[in-house]
Amino acid sequence: MSTDAATPDPSQTPLAFGQRLKILRTRRGMTREVLAGLLGRSTEWVKALENGRLQVPRFDTVLAIAEALRVRDLADLTGRHVADQGLFVGPGHPRLAAVAAAVNAMPALSNRPAPPTAHVRARLDAAWKARHSAPNHRERIGALLPDLILDAQLASRHAAAPTERRAAQAVLAEVYALTQFFVAYQPDSALLWRVAERGMVAAQESEDPHAIGVSAWLLAQAHRDSGPDRFEAADSITMDVLTYLQPLLPDAADSVLSIAGALQFEAGYTAARRGDNPRAWSFWDQARKTAERLPADYYDPITSFSRAIMGAHATTVAVELHAGGESVRQAARSEATVIPSRPRRARHRIEQARAYHLDGQPDTALTILDQAFEAAPETIRYNGYAKRIILESVEAPAPDRRRRASELATKVGLLAG
C-alpha cells in the first residue's frame, strides 16, 4: 500500500496540531532531531508535541516551526485560518492580475505591431533601474510589466534572421526574470513556475550564456524555496549550468562572470539551508573569488552580484546555518548602505535583523527592520522572516518592545491601524 495514500492531508482532514506537525515534517524529509535543532529544543519536546502530550505552543513558537518547515500557509500547520496565515507569501499586489494576463496572453492573436528588439531592450533596462531606485518597487515594475511582456513576446515571435531571433529571445528571458521578481512571494505559485520555466526556455533558445545563467539562477531559487524536498533539484540546475559556464570563465565578459558567481553563491545558500557548514562556506568563498575578478564598481542589475554584495551573502549563510554569534559578526561587518539597490538593501537589513534575532537581541532586530522599511517598504511586506520577527515581538513581555513592534506591524500592514 502506498504510504502517501494512507497519510491524511493536513489541509483537508481535521487533525490535531501535533498530527499536522508530524505529517508536514515527514513530507519535508526532516527528522525530529533536525527540527529540534532548528528550534533550539530537545527531540523529546518535538515528539511530545507530535504525540499530543504537549499543548499547542505560543504563537511565536508556531511561527518558528512554520519557518523551519517552510510552511507557506499557516493554516496547514494550525488547522485554522488566522490573520497572518501566509507567513512566506505576501499579499496579492493590485497589479498581479494584469501581469498574469500578459503572461497568459496569446501573442499570435494580438494586433499589436512587433516593436524592435532594441526598443524592448531599452525599456527593460529602464525597468531594472526603476526597480532598484524605488521604495515601492513592485508597484513600479508591476505598472511596466504587462506591456513589456507582450512586446517582448511579439519581438521574439516576429524576429526574422537567426541572430535577431536569438537576441530577442535573450531579452524575453530577461523580461521573464523581471516578472519573476514581481511574482515571487505572491499568492499564485502556478504563475511563478510558469514564468520561471518560460524564462528558461527562452534563454536556451537565445544560446546566450548570461541569459541561460540568469534563468537557471531563478529556477533554482524557485525549487529551493519550495522546501527541502526540492533542494536536490535546485542543486542539479545550479551545478549543471556552472559546468556549462566553466570553460567560458577565463575570458568571460563581466556579465557572464557575474552570473557564475551568483550561481556559486546559490549553491552555498542551498547547502546552508541543508545545514552543510563546510560546503556552504566553500561555495561562498568561490563566489567571493569570482567577485574579486569584477571591477570594484560593478553591480549586476538582475542578481545584485558584486564585490559589495559578498558581505550580505556571508550574513545570509551564517543565518541559514543558525550560527547566532557568527551571524551577528557577519551582520556587523557588512554595511547595507554600500548596496546601491533599495530592495536588495532592504533584504540585507532583514537578514541582519534575523542574525540579531537569532542571537537573542530582539530590540536590535526591530531597529534594523525599521531601517529595512525605510529603504523599501514593499520588500518587508512580502518577507516571511521579517513578519515572524515583528509578530513575535508584538507579543513580547517588554512593553517598549511591544509598542515598537506594534507600530512597525501597523506600517507593514500586519495589524490594522
pLDDT value of position 85: 40
SS3 188: coil
**Are 358 and 315 within 8 A, CB to CB?**
no
Section 80-97 average pLDDT: 63
Whole-angstrom distance, CA of residue 281 vs CA of residue 323: 12
**Are 370 and 350 within 8 A, CB to CB?**
no
C-alpha cell read off for 354: 534575523
pLDDT in tens, 42-80: 999 999 999 888 888 877 688 788 878 877 667 778 765
Section 277-304 average pLDDT: 97
Pick the most confident of 75-79, 90-94, 372-376. Answer: 372-376
Whole-angstrom distance, CA of residue 167 vs CA of residue 203: 10
DSSP 113-175: PPPPHHHHHHHHHHHHHHHHH-TTHHHHHHHHHHHHHHHHHHHHHH--SHHHHHHHHHHHHHH
pLDDT value of position 194: 94
Which is higher by pLDDT, 155 or 88?
A: 155
Look-up: residue for cell 518547515? Answer: 69
**Are 202 and 162 within 8 A, CB to CB?**
no
Residues contacting 135, CB < 8 A, separation 6+: 342, 375, 376, 377, 378
Other CB atoms closer than 10 Å to residue 213's CB: what's the count?
Answer: 27
Whole-angstrom distance, CA of residue 325 vs CA of residue 333: 12
Give, in order, the Cα–Cα distances in Å from 135 to each of 125, 130, 183, 341, 380.
18, 10, 17, 10, 11
- For the chain, the domains span 3-78, 93-206, 208-302, 308-417
From the CA atom positions of the chain, what is the Rg in Å? 22
pLDDT in tens, 101-142: 999 988 766 778 889 999 999 999 999 999 999 999 999 999
pLDDT of 81 over the 80 cut: no
C-alpha cell read off for 256: 557572464
pLDDT value of position 2: 32
SS3 395: coil
**Are 99 and 179 within 8 A, CB to CB?**
yes
pLDDT value of position 88: 52
pLDDT of 9 over the 50 cut: no
Other CB atoms closer than 10 Å to residue 33's CB: what's the count?
Answer: 11
pLDDT value of position 83: 40
Tell me which of 3.40.190.10, 3.40.50.1370, 1.10.260.40, 3.40.50.300 is the CATH number of domain 3-78. 1.10.260.40
Nearest Cα residue to 87 out of 404, 393, 347, 382: 382
Across 34-50, b (16+ Cβ under 10 Å) vs e yields bbbbbbebeeebbeebb
Common-topology check for domains 3-78 and 308-417: no
Mean of per-residue pLDDT scores for the chain: 88
pLDDT value of position 7: 42
Whole-angstrom distance, CA of residue 234 vs CA of residue 241: 11
Other CB atoms closer than 10 Å to residue 365's CB: what's the count?
Answer: 27
**Are 157 and 107 within 8 A, CB to CB?**
yes
Domain covering 308-417, topology: 1.25.40
